[in-house]
Structure 1
Amino acid sequence: LEHLTSVKGWCMYHRVIVLFSFSQGLYKEALKQFEKIKDTDFQAMYQLGVMYYDGLGTKKDPERGVEYMNKILNSDSPEAKHLKFAAAYNLGRAYYEGCGVKPSTEEAERLWLTAADDGNPNASIKAQSTLGMLYSMPIVEDLEKAFFWHSKACDNGNLESQGALGIMYLYGQGTCQNTEAALECLRKAAELGNIYAQGHLVEYYYTRKFYSKAAAVAKRVMENDDINMLAKITDCHPTYVAQGAAMAAFYLARCLQLGQGIKKNQHAAEEYYSKVIEKA
Protein backbone atom coordinates (compact mmCIF):
# COMPACT_ATOMS: atom_id res chain seq x y z
CA LEU A 1 0.00 0.00 0.00
CA GLU A 2 3.05 2.28 -0.01
CA HIS A 3 2.09 3.79 -3.39
CA LEU A 4 -1.11 5.28 -1.91
CA THR A 5 0.69 8.35 -0.64
CA SER A 6 -1.59 11.10 -2.00
CA VAL A 7 -4.75 12.18 -0.17
CA LYS A 8 -6.82 11.36 -3.26
CA GLY A 9 -5.28 7.89 -3.48
CA TRP A 10 -5.93 7.21 0.18
CA CYS A 11 -9.57 8.40 -0.09
CA MET A 12 -10.16 6.08 -3.01
CA TYR A 13 -8.60 3.15 -1.14
CA HIS A 14 -10.59 4.01 2.00
CA ARG A 15 -13.83 4.13 0.04
CA VAL A 16 -13.20 0.71 -1.53
CA ILE A 17 -12.52 -0.87 1.87
CA VAL A 18 -15.61 0.69 3.44
CA LEU A 19 -17.86 -0.25 0.51
CA PHE A 20 -16.54 -3.80 0.77
CA SER A 21 -17.49 -3.84 4.47
CA PHE A 22 -20.98 -2.62 3.55
CA SER A 23 -21.40 -5.27 0.84
CA GLN A 24 -20.39 -7.98 3.33
CA GLY A 25 -23.03 -6.85 5.82
CA LEU A 26 -20.50 -5.37 8.27
CA TYR A 27 -22.80 -2.40 8.73
CA LYS A 28 -21.59 -1.05 12.07
CA GLU A 29 -18.00 -0.83 10.87
CA ALA A 30 -19.07 0.64 7.54
CA LEU A 31 -21.24 3.23 9.29
CA LYS A 32 -18.34 4.35 11.49
CA GLN A 33 -16.04 4.75 8.49
CA PHE A 34 -18.65 6.46 6.28
CA GLU A 35 -19.21 9.04 9.03
CA LYS A 36 -15.49 9.94 8.90
CA ILE A 37 -15.51 10.79 5.20
CA LYS A 38 -19.10 11.94 4.52
CA ASP A 39 -18.15 15.64 4.33
CA THR A 40 -15.72 15.01 1.48
CA ASP A 41 -17.26 11.98 -0.22
CA PHE A 42 -20.78 12.02 -1.69
CA GLN A 43 -20.79 8.23 -2.06
CA ALA A 44 -20.28 7.93 1.69
CA MET A 45 -23.09 10.45 2.27
CA TYR A 46 -25.39 8.43 0.02
CA GLN A 47 -24.62 5.13 1.79
CA LEU A 48 -25.21 6.79 5.16
CA GLY A 49 -28.58 8.01 3.91
CA VAL A 50 -29.57 4.45 3.01
CA MET A 51 -28.28 3.07 6.31
CA TYR A 52 -30.07 5.59 8.51
CA TYR A 53 -33.29 5.25 6.52
CA ASP A 54 -33.34 1.44 6.72
CA GLY A 55 -31.61 1.06 10.09
CA LEU A 56 -28.56 -0.82 8.83
CA GLY A 57 -25.88 -0.92 11.54
CA THR A 58 -27.70 1.75 13.50
CA LYS A 59 -31.08 2.71 14.91
CA LYS A 60 -33.51 3.84 12.22
CA ASP A 61 -33.38 7.59 11.66
CA PRO A 62 -35.37 8.22 8.46
CA GLU A 63 -35.27 12.02 8.88
CA ARG A 64 -31.49 11.91 8.79
CA GLY A 65 -31.58 9.59 5.78
CA VAL A 66 -33.86 12.02 3.95
CA GLU A 67 -31.54 14.92 4.88
CA TYR A 68 -28.54 13.21 3.23
CA MET A 69 -30.52 12.34 0.08
CA ASN A 70 -31.71 15.95 -0.23
CA LYS A 71 -28.14 17.23 0.13
CA ILE A 72 -27.08 15.02 -2.79
CA LEU A 73 -30.08 15.93 -4.95
CA ASN A 74 -29.59 19.68 -4.37
CA SER A 75 -25.80 19.71 -4.68
CA ASP A 76 -24.07 21.54 -7.57
CA SER A 77 -20.93 19.45 -7.16
CA PRO A 78 -19.92 17.35 -10.22
CA GLU A 79 -19.03 14.56 -7.78
CA ALA A 80 -22.69 14.28 -6.74
CA LYS A 81 -24.05 14.11 -10.30
CA HIS A 82 -23.96 10.32 -10.68
CA LEU A 83 -25.84 9.87 -7.38
CA LYS A 84 -28.68 12.34 -7.98
CA PHE A 85 -31.01 9.86 -9.66
CA ALA A 86 -30.49 7.22 -6.99
CA ALA A 87 -31.14 9.89 -4.36
CA ALA A 88 -34.33 10.94 -6.19
CA TYR A 89 -35.54 7.32 -6.22
CA ASN A 90 -34.93 6.94 -2.49
CA LEU A 91 -36.59 10.27 -1.67
CA GLY A 92 -39.60 9.16 -3.70
CA ARG A 93 -39.72 6.03 -1.59
CA ALA A 94 -39.63 8.15 1.60
CA TYR A 95 -42.53 10.34 0.44
CA TYR A 96 -44.57 7.33 -0.66
CA GLU A 97 -44.02 5.55 2.67
CA GLY A 98 -44.38 8.75 4.71
CA CYS A 99 -41.18 7.84 6.52
CA GLY A 100 -38.95 10.79 7.49
CA VAL A 101 -41.25 13.20 5.63
CA LYS A 102 -44.96 13.97 5.34
CA PRO A 103 -46.50 11.36 3.00
CA SER A 104 -47.20 12.58 -0.54
CA THR A 105 -47.96 10.30 -3.49
CA GLU A 106 -47.65 13.32 -5.81
CA GLU A 107 -44.14 14.13 -4.59
CA ALA A 108 -43.15 10.45 -4.77
CA GLU A 109 -44.39 10.33 -8.37
CA ARG A 110 -42.45 13.51 -9.27
CA LEU A 111 -39.21 12.20 -7.79
CA TRP A 112 -39.58 8.75 -9.39
CA LEU A 113 -40.19 10.39 -12.78
CA THR A 114 -36.94 12.34 -12.27
CA ALA A 115 -35.07 9.15 -11.36
CA ALA A 116 -36.62 7.09 -14.17
CA ASP A 117 -35.64 9.40 -16.98
CA ASP A 118 -31.85 9.28 -17.02
CA GLY A 119 -28.70 9.08 -14.91
CA ASN A 120 -27.66 6.15 -12.75
CA PRO A 121 -28.89 3.07 -14.69
CA ASN A 122 -29.83 1.00 -11.66
CA ALA A 123 -31.79 3.81 -10.03
CA SER A 124 -33.49 4.59 -13.33
CA ILE A 125 -34.59 0.98 -13.91
CA LYS A 126 -35.87 0.60 -10.34
CA ALA A 127 -37.78 3.87 -10.67
CA GLN A 128 -39.27 2.77 -13.99
CA SER A 129 -40.55 -0.46 -12.45
CA THR A 130 -41.83 1.37 -9.38
CA LEU A 131 -43.76 3.80 -11.57
CA GLY A 132 -45.31 0.81 -13.35
CA MET A 133 -46.49 -0.48 -9.98
CA LEU A 134 -47.67 2.98 -8.85
CA TYR A 135 -49.84 3.53 -11.94
CA SER A 136 -51.41 0.10 -11.42
CA MET A 137 -52.72 1.08 -7.98
CA PRO A 138 -56.31 2.34 -7.51
CA ILE A 139 -55.18 5.64 -5.95
CA VAL A 140 -53.53 6.85 -9.20
CA GLU A 141 -54.64 4.17 -11.66
CA ASP A 142 -53.49 4.79 -15.22
CA LEU A 143 -52.89 1.41 -16.83
CA GLU A 144 -51.51 2.83 -20.08
CA LYS A 145 -48.81 4.66 -18.09
CA ALA A 146 -48.23 1.48 -16.06
CA PHE A 147 -47.73 -0.51 -19.25
CA PHE A 148 -45.37 2.16 -20.64
CA TRP A 149 -43.11 2.20 -17.59
CA HIS A 150 -43.13 -1.58 -17.12
CA SER A 151 -42.13 -1.88 -20.80
CA LYS A 152 -39.17 0.48 -20.30
CA ALA A 153 -38.05 -1.35 -17.15
CA CYS A 154 -38.48 -4.74 -18.82
CA ASP A 155 -36.38 -3.61 -21.81
CA ASN A 156 -33.70 -2.64 -19.28
CA GLY A 157 -33.76 -6.08 -17.65
CA ASN A 158 -36.08 -5.61 -14.67
CA LEU A 159 -37.46 -9.00 -13.62
CA GLU A 160 -40.47 -7.71 -11.68
CA SER A 161 -41.67 -5.62 -14.64
CA GLN A 162 -41.25 -8.55 -16.99
CA GLY A 163 -43.74 -10.54 -14.92
CA ALA A 164 -46.09 -7.54 -14.63
CA LEU A 165 -46.04 -7.06 -18.42
CA GLY A 166 -46.99 -10.70 -18.91
CA ILE A 167 -50.05 -10.26 -16.70
CA MET A 168 -51.03 -7.00 -18.45
CA TYR A 169 -50.84 -8.72 -21.84
CA LEU A 170 -52.76 -11.71 -20.50
CA TYR A 171 -55.73 -9.67 -19.29
CA GLY A 172 -55.50 -6.72 -21.71
CA GLN A 173 -54.64 -4.16 -19.03
CA GLY A 174 -53.25 -0.93 -20.48
CA THR A 175 -52.70 -2.68 -23.82
CA CYS A 176 -54.44 -5.03 -26.23
CA GLN A 177 -54.85 -8.58 -24.97
CA ASN A 178 -52.09 -10.75 -26.43
CA THR A 179 -51.82 -14.29 -25.08
CA GLU A 180 -48.69 -15.11 -27.06
CA ALA A 181 -46.82 -12.05 -25.74
CA ALA A 182 -48.17 -12.74 -22.25
CA LEU A 183 -46.86 -16.30 -22.16
CA GLU A 184 -43.49 -15.23 -23.54
CA CYS A 185 -43.09 -12.62 -20.78
CA LEU A 186 -44.41 -14.87 -18.02
CA ARG A 187 -42.24 -17.84 -19.03
CA LYS A 188 -39.08 -15.71 -19.25
CA ALA A 189 -39.81 -14.10 -15.89
CA ALA A 190 -40.66 -17.49 -14.35
CA GLU A 191 -37.42 -19.04 -15.59
CA LEU A 192 -35.49 -16.24 -13.88
CA GLY A 193 -37.27 -16.83 -10.56
CA ASN A 194 -40.21 -14.38 -10.60
CA ILE A 195 -42.66 -16.16 -8.24
CA TYR A 196 -45.58 -13.89 -9.17
CA ALA A 197 -45.14 -14.87 -12.82
CA GLN A 198 -44.86 -18.54 -11.85
CA GLY A 199 -48.11 -18.34 -9.86
CA HIS A 200 -49.95 -16.83 -12.82
CA LEU A 201 -48.56 -19.47 -15.14
CA VAL A 202 -49.88 -22.16 -12.80
CA GLU A 203 -53.31 -20.53 -12.88
CA TYR A 204 -53.18 -20.21 -16.68
CA TYR A 205 -52.32 -23.89 -17.13
CA TYR A 206 -54.90 -25.08 -14.58
CA THR A 207 -57.84 -23.06 -15.96
CA ARG A 208 -57.08 -24.41 -19.43
CA LYS A 209 -56.96 -27.96 -18.04
CA PHE A 210 -53.22 -28.48 -18.58
CA TYR A 211 -53.17 -30.11 -15.17
CA SER A 212 -49.81 -31.86 -15.43
CA LYS A 213 -48.08 -28.59 -16.38
CA ALA A 214 -49.89 -26.71 -13.62
CA ALA A 215 -48.90 -29.26 -10.97
CA ALA A 216 -45.27 -29.44 -12.16
CA VAL A 217 -44.77 -25.65 -12.10
CA ALA A 218 -46.57 -25.35 -8.76
CA LYS A 219 -44.36 -28.03 -7.18
CA ARG A 220 -41.24 -26.14 -8.28
CA VAL A 221 -42.60 -22.93 -6.76
CA MET A 222 -43.29 -24.65 -3.43
CA GLU A 223 -39.79 -26.10 -3.13
CA ASN A 224 -38.70 -22.86 -1.46
CA ASP A 225 -41.27 -20.86 0.51
CA ASP A 226 -38.98 -18.34 2.21
CA ILE A 227 -40.75 -15.23 0.89
CA ASN A 228 -38.27 -12.63 2.17
CA MET A 229 -35.25 -14.51 0.85
CA LEU A 230 -36.89 -14.99 -2.57
CA ALA A 231 -37.83 -11.30 -2.67
CA LYS A 232 -34.24 -10.31 -1.92
CA ILE A 233 -32.74 -12.69 -4.50
CA THR A 234 -35.08 -11.58 -7.30
CA ASP A 235 -35.44 -7.92 -6.22
CA CYS A 236 -39.23 -8.35 -6.33
CA HIS A 237 -41.64 -6.97 -3.73
CA PRO A 238 -42.42 -9.51 -0.98
CA THR A 239 -46.18 -8.89 -1.35
CA TYR A 240 -46.14 -10.08 -4.96
CA VAL A 241 -43.83 -12.99 -4.15
CA ALA A 242 -46.29 -14.09 -1.45
CA GLN A 243 -49.24 -13.76 -3.84
CA GLY A 244 -47.52 -15.88 -6.47
CA ALA A 245 -46.65 -18.54 -3.90
CA ALA A 246 -50.24 -18.57 -2.59
CA MET A 247 -51.60 -19.08 -6.12
CA ALA A 248 -49.20 -21.97 -6.72
CA ALA A 249 -50.11 -23.57 -3.36
CA PHE A 250 -53.84 -23.29 -4.07
CA TYR A 251 -53.72 -24.91 -7.50
CA LEU A 252 -51.30 -27.59 -6.35
CA ALA A 253 -53.73 -28.39 -3.53
CA ARG A 254 -56.59 -28.62 -6.05
CA CYS A 255 -54.59 -30.97 -8.26
CA LEU A 256 -53.74 -33.19 -5.29
CA GLN A 257 -57.30 -33.16 -3.94
CA LEU A 258 -58.86 -34.13 -7.28
CA GLY A 259 -56.00 -36.18 -8.74
CA GLN A 260 -55.59 -33.79 -11.67
CA GLY A 261 -52.20 -34.14 -13.38
CA ILE A 262 -50.76 -35.72 -10.25
CA LYS A 263 -51.54 -38.66 -7.96
CA LYS A 264 -54.43 -37.94 -5.60
CA ASN A 265 -53.29 -37.19 -2.05
CA GLN A 266 -55.81 -35.68 0.38
CA HIS A 267 -53.32 -35.19 3.22
CA ALA A 268 -50.86 -33.29 0.99
CA ALA A 269 -53.74 -31.26 -0.43
CA GLU A 270 -54.71 -30.12 3.06
CA GLU A 271 -51.12 -29.10 3.79
CA TYR A 272 -50.98 -26.93 0.67
CA TYR A 273 -54.37 -25.38 1.39
CA SER A 274 -52.97 -24.32 4.79
CA LYS A 275 -50.01 -22.70 3.00
CA VAL A 276 -52.45 -20.60 0.95
CA ILE A 277 -53.75 -19.09 4.22
CA GLU A 278 -50.19 -18.52 5.50
CA LYS A 279 -49.15 -16.57 2.40
CA ALA A 280 -52.39 -14.74 1.63
Structure 2
Amino acid sequence: METKFSKSNISVTDIVNTENCSYCNKPFTEELWCKECINSLEKSAENGNKVAIFNLAKRYYNGKGTEKNLEKAFYWYQKAAENGDENVMNYLANCYYNGKGTEKNLEKAFYWYQKAAENGVKE
Protein backbone atom coordinates (compact mmCIF):
# COMPACT_ATOMS: atom_id res chain seq x y z
CA MET A 1 0.00 0.00 0.00
CA GLU A 2 1.43 3.36 -1.03
CA THR A 3 0.99 6.15 1.46
CA LYS A 4 1.45 9.82 0.63
CA PHE A 5 1.82 12.56 3.19
CA SER A 6 1.21 16.24 2.79
CA LYS A 7 3.31 18.86 4.54
CA SER A 8 0.44 19.59 6.90
CA ASN A 9 0.05 16.10 8.33
CA ILE A 10 3.65 14.90 8.54
CA SER A 11 5.04 14.20 12.00
CA VAL A 12 8.55 13.69 13.26
CA THR A 13 7.60 10.09 14.04
CA ASP A 14 6.77 9.50 10.36
CA ILE A 15 10.18 10.76 9.35
CA VAL A 16 12.22 8.96 12.01
CA ASN A 17 10.57 5.57 11.58
CA THR A 18 10.79 5.32 7.82
CA GLU A 19 13.40 4.59 5.18
CA ASN A 20 11.16 6.23 2.58
CA CYS A 21 10.47 9.81 1.61
CA SER A 22 7.57 11.00 3.72
CA TYR A 23 6.09 12.82 0.75
CA CYS A 24 6.20 10.33 -2.13
CA ASN A 25 6.94 7.15 -0.13
CA LYS A 26 9.79 6.14 -2.46
CA PRO A 27 12.79 4.47 -0.78
CA PHE A 28 15.71 6.80 -0.09
CA THR A 29 17.83 4.58 -2.34
CA GLU A 30 15.78 5.24 -5.50
CA GLU A 31 17.06 7.52 -8.24
CA LEU A 32 13.85 9.37 -9.16
CA TRP A 33 12.32 11.42 -6.39
CA CYS A 34 9.75 14.09 -5.81
CA LYS A 35 11.08 17.60 -5.21
CA GLU A 36 10.59 17.26 -1.44
CA CYS A 37 12.67 14.10 -1.09
CA ILE A 38 15.92 15.82 -0.12
CA ASN A 39 14.10 17.75 2.63
CA SER A 40 12.51 14.54 3.90
CA LEU A 41 15.83 12.71 3.69
CA GLU A 42 17.62 15.49 5.56
CA LYS A 43 15.03 15.51 8.37
CA SER A 44 15.31 11.75 8.68
CA ALA A 45 19.12 11.97 8.73
CA GLU A 46 19.00 14.67 11.41
CA ASN A 47 16.93 12.25 13.49
CA GLY A 48 19.57 9.53 13.20
CA ASN A 49 18.24 7.29 10.42
CA LYS A 50 21.40 5.49 9.19
CA VAL A 51 19.99 4.78 5.74
CA ALA A 52 19.04 8.43 5.36
CA ILE A 53 22.44 9.67 6.56
CA PHE A 54 24.34 7.47 4.12
CA ASN A 55 22.10 8.26 1.16
CA LEU A 56 22.08 11.98 1.90
CA ALA A 57 25.88 12.00 2.01
CA LYS A 58 26.07 10.10 -1.28
CA ARG A 59 23.59 12.45 -2.95
CA TYR A 60 25.54 15.53 -1.85
CA TYR A 61 28.79 13.88 -2.95
CA ASN A 62 27.50 12.91 -6.41
CA GLY A 63 25.01 15.74 -6.94
CA LYS A 64 22.06 13.39 -7.53
CA GLY A 65 18.71 14.85 -6.56
CA THR A 66 20.41 17.97 -5.23
CA GLU A 67 23.34 20.25 -6.00
CA LYS A 68 26.74 18.68 -5.44
CA ASN A 69 28.08 19.83 -2.08
CA LEU A 70 31.24 18.08 -0.89
CA GLU A 71 31.26 19.87 2.47
CA LYS A 72 27.77 18.58 3.28
CA ALA A 73 28.70 15.12 2.00
CA PHE A 74 31.73 15.10 4.29
CA TYR A 75 29.61 16.26 7.24
CA TRP A 76 27.15 13.38 6.82
CA TYR A 77 29.87 10.77 6.15
CA GLN A 78 31.63 11.93 9.30
CA LYS A 79 28.44 11.81 11.36
CA ALA A 80 27.71 8.26 10.18
CA ALA A 81 31.27 7.01 10.72
CA GLU A 82 31.51 8.54 14.19
CA ASN A 83 28.21 6.83 15.06
CA GLY A 84 29.75 3.46 14.17
CA ASP A 85 28.46 2.91 10.63
CA GLU A 86 31.38 0.80 9.42
CA ASN A 87 30.19 0.87 5.80
CA VAL A 88 30.68 4.64 5.69
CA MET A 89 34.15 4.68 7.23
CA ASN A 90 35.89 4.11 3.89
CA TYR A 91 33.89 6.93 2.30
CA LEU A 92 35.04 9.26 5.08
CA ALA A 93 38.62 8.02 4.72
CA ASN A 94 38.46 8.72 0.98
CA CYS A 95 37.30 12.28 1.69
CA TYR A 96 40.30 12.84 3.95
CA TYR A 97 42.67 11.11 1.53
CA ASN A 98 41.52 13.12 -1.50
CA GLY A 99 40.68 16.38 0.28
CA LYS A 100 37.01 16.22 -0.76
CA GLY A 101 34.78 18.37 1.44
CA THR A 102 37.59 18.84 3.94
CA GLU A 103 41.31 19.50 3.99
CA LYS A 104 43.46 16.61 2.86
CA ASN A 105 44.64 14.73 5.95
CA LEU A 106 46.47 11.45 5.41
CA GLU A 107 46.67 10.70 9.13
CA LYS A 108 42.88 10.87 9.51
CA ALA A 109 42.44 8.96 6.24
CA PHE A 110 44.63 6.16 7.59
CA TYR A 111 42.72 6.16 10.89
CA TRP A 112 39.36 5.67 9.13
CA TYR A 113 40.71 3.10 6.65
CA GLN A 114 42.09 1.16 9.61
CA LYS A 115 38.85 1.52 11.58
CA ALA A 116 36.86 0.24 8.59
CA ALA A 117 39.20 -2.75 8.21
CA GLU A 118 38.91 -3.55 11.92
CA ASN A 119 35.13 -3.64 11.44
CA GLY A 120 35.35 -6.08 8.54
CA VAL A 121 35.01 -3.65 5.63
CA LYS A 122 37.09 -4.97 2.74
CA GLU A 123 36.80 -2.18 0.17
- What's the TM-score once normalised by structure 1's chain length? 0.34
- 1:137 paired residue number: 30
Shift of residue 217, structure 1, vs aligned partner: 0.5
CA distance, structure 2, for counterparts of residue 206 and residue 144 of structure 1: 33
Is it true that 1:149 corresponds to 2:40 in the alignment?
yes
Contact preservation (8 Å) 1:144, 1:175: no
Name the CA shift for 1:124/1:172 in 2 (closer, same or farther; >3 Å): closer
1-structure distance, mates of 2:28, 2:49: 17
- Contact 1:136-1:143 at 8 Å conserved across structures: no
Contact 1:143–1:173 (CA<8 Å) still a contact in 2?
A: no
Structure (1/2) with the larger helix percentage: 1
Aligned residue for 1:215? 110
In the superposition, relative to structure 1, how do residues 156 and 210 fare at CA in structure 2: closer, same or farther (>3 Å)? closer
C-alpha deviations, 1:7-39, integer Å up to 9, x for none?
Answer: xxxxxxxxxxxxxxxxxxxxxxxxxxxxxxxxx
1:178: which partner in 2? 69
1:188 aligns with 2:101: no
Q: Distance in 2 between matches of 1:213 and 1:143?
A: 37
What number of residue pairs does the alignment pair up? 113
Question: 1:207 Cα shift?
Answer: 4.1
Q: After superposition, give the CA deviation of every residue in 1:216-268 in whole Å (9 maximum; x if it has no partner).
A: 2111112233xxxxxxxxxxxxxxxxxxx3xxx33xxxxxxxxxxxxxxxxxx
Report the Cα offset of residue 153 of structure 1: 0.5
The DSSP-based 3-state class of the residue aligned with 1:174 is coil
**Cα deviation digits, residues 91-132 of structure 1 (max 9, x gap):** xxxxxxxxxxxxxxxx3xx23x45x9338x2x54122x3338
1: CA distance between counterparts of 2:81 and 2:15?
A: 23
What runs of 5+ residues in structure 1 fail to find an aligned partner?
Answer: 1-106, 226-244, 251-280
Which protein is bigger by CA-based radius of gyration? Answer: 1
CA separation in 1, counterparts of 2:109 and 2:51? 21
Q: Percent identity?
A: 22
Q: 1:196 to 1:164 in 2, by over 3 A?
A: farther
Decide which of 83, 88, 97 is 1:197's aligned counterpart.
88
Q: CA RMSD in A?
A: 3.0
Displacement of 1:187 in angstroms is 0.8
Superposed displacement of residue 143, structure 1:
7.0
Matches within 5 A, 1:50-199: 107=1, 110-111=2-3, 113=4, 117-118=10-11, 121=13, 124-127=15-18, 129-131=19-21, 134-137=27-30, 141-142=32-33, 144-199=35-90
- What do residues 66-111 of structure 1 show as CA deviations (whole Å, max 9, x unaligned)? xxxxxxxxxxxxxxxxxxxxxxxxxxxxxxxxxxxxxxxxx3xx23
Assess if the C-alpha contact under 8 Å between 1:160 and 1:194 holds in 2: no
Tell me, what secondary structure is at the counterpart of 1:154?
A: helix
Alpha carbons 2:28, 2:55 under 8 Å: kept: no
